[in-house]
């Protein structure tokens, strides 16, 4: 089982993005997915920049993937998506059916991203027939359903499950950050760059609930499936995905790497990951078929003979 990095979901300055991937080049991750998946107005980096970063990561021994935007609203965004799909160098993660269509037309293999509506074996077979060689299941897919879907997994298809990080719950044509600041979306001034980990939203009694990230809503608590490691392995999951943030990513990767290698008990790894966000903790409710924000601790490994 290998580790992967999802695209950075937040709007960071180009210098910060480059510095992040310079560090990631030395982390125990095998796959790094790059690109802007949230908002087409976030243009601190263009395709040539992503190709340059990808080349550096590839030289460091990483497998590089370029991700497409999940919600395309303008002709300019469509043109960028098509250009990315035809980059001719790196594998592409398709996050909407327009990207799937373009990649199938080009005739190149691709990754079926987590924002595609793939919830059953028939749809997975269809996507694989169009050229998908790896599938990232939607974050809300319960573990029992995933197991059933994988019983009929197309031959040669890899599976990459989001194991740590804030979950992308929704995308909107409206910008939540602009709305919160009472400014029009078209004149937002890219205010989301002031929130390097999004903007925390709480319930009336002060409980962390969501994170507003431009046009995206995320879970406040990061997903944490470290305690399900043996179940994931038994299912035949190939990669565990970590969603980057501004403060916990390096530590999360190190913890998961220890668990995957057998140097750390999965239950202990789950507790260590949950401790990375004091006061917020973690969630795994979707995995267990419940409310996404719920947390169910993994049973500890038996001690002694």
CA–CA dist 198, 143 (Å, integer): 28
Domain membership of residue 304 (yes or no) is no
Residue 40's pLDDT is 92
Q: Domains in the chain: how many in total? A: 1
Q: How far is CA 11 from CA 36, 39, 98, 209, in A?
A: 9, 9, 24, 21
Contacts of 88 (CB under 8 A, 6+ apart): none
Residue 303's pLDDT is 54
User: Domain with 194 in it: what CATH number?
Assistant: 3.20.20.70
Residue pLDDT tens, the chain, 305 long: 999 999 999 999 999 999 999 999 999 999 999 999 999 999 999 999 999 999 999 999 999 999 999 999 999 999 999 999 999 999 999 999 999 999 999 999 999 999 999 999 999 999 999 999 999 999 999 999 999 999 989 999 999 999 999 999 999 999 999 988 899 888 888 889 999 999 999 999 999 999 999 999 999 999 999 999 999 999 999 999 999 999 999 999 999 999 999 999 999 999 999 999 999 999 999 999 999 999 998 766 555 55
Under a CB-based contact definition with an 8 Å cutoff, are residues 140 and 168 in contact?
Answer: no
List the beta bridge partners of residue 217: 170, 212
Domain that holds residue 28: 2-274
Strand 91-94 to 63-67 pairing: parallel
Domain membership of residue 158 (yes or no) is yes
CA–CA dist 283, 263 (Å, integer): 23
Domain membership of residue 20 (yes or no) is yes
Domain membership of residue 81 (yes or no) is yes
Domain membership of residue 116 (yes or no) is yes
Domain membership of residue 134 (yes or no) is yes
- The angle subtended at Cα 133 by Cα 130 and Cα 138, nearest 5°, is 90
Domain membership of residue 290 (yes or no) is no
Residue 222: phi and psi, rounded to 5, are -75, 145
Under a CB-based contact definition with an 8 Å cutoff, are residues 50 and 20 in contact?
Answer: no
């Amino acid at each position: 089982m290998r580790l992967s990095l999802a695209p950075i979901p937040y709007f960071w300055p180009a210098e910060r993005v480059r510095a992040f991937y310079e560090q990631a080049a030395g982390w125990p991750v095998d796959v790094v997915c790059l690109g802007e998946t949230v908002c087409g107005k976030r243009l601190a980096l263009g395709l040539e920049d992503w190709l340059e970063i990808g080349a550096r990561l590839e030289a460091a021994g990483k497998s590089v993937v370029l991700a497409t935007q999940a919600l395309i609203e303008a002709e300019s965004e469509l043109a960028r998506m098509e250009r990315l799909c035809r980059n001719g160098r790196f594998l592409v993660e398709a996050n909407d059916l327009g990207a799937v269509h373009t990649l199938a037309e080009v005739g190149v293999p691709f990754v079926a991203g987590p924002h595609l509506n793939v919830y059953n074996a028939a749809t997975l077979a269809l996507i694989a027939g169009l050229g998908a060689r790896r599938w990232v299941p939607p974050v809300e897919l319960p573990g029992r359903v995933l197991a059933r879907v994988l019983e009929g997994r197309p031959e040669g298809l890899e599976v990459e499950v989001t194991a740590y990080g804030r979950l992308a719950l929704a995308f909107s044509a409206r910008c939540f950050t602009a709305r919160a600041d009472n400014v029009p979306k078209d004149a937002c001034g890219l205010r989301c760059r002031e929130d390097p980990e999004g903007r925390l939203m709480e319930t009336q009694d002060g409980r962390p609930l969501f994170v507003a990230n431009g046009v995206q809503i995320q879970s406040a608590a990061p997903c944490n499936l470290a305690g399900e490691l043996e179940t994931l392995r038994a299912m035949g999951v190939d990669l565990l995905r970590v969603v980057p943030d501004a403060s916990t990513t390096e530590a999360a990767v190190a913890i998961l790497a220890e668990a995957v290698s057998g140097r750390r008990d999965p239950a202990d790894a789950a507790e260590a990951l949950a401790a990375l966000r004091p006061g917020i903790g973690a969630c795994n409710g979707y995995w267990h078929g419940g409310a996404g924000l719920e947390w169910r601790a993994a049973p500890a490994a038996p001690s002694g003979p």
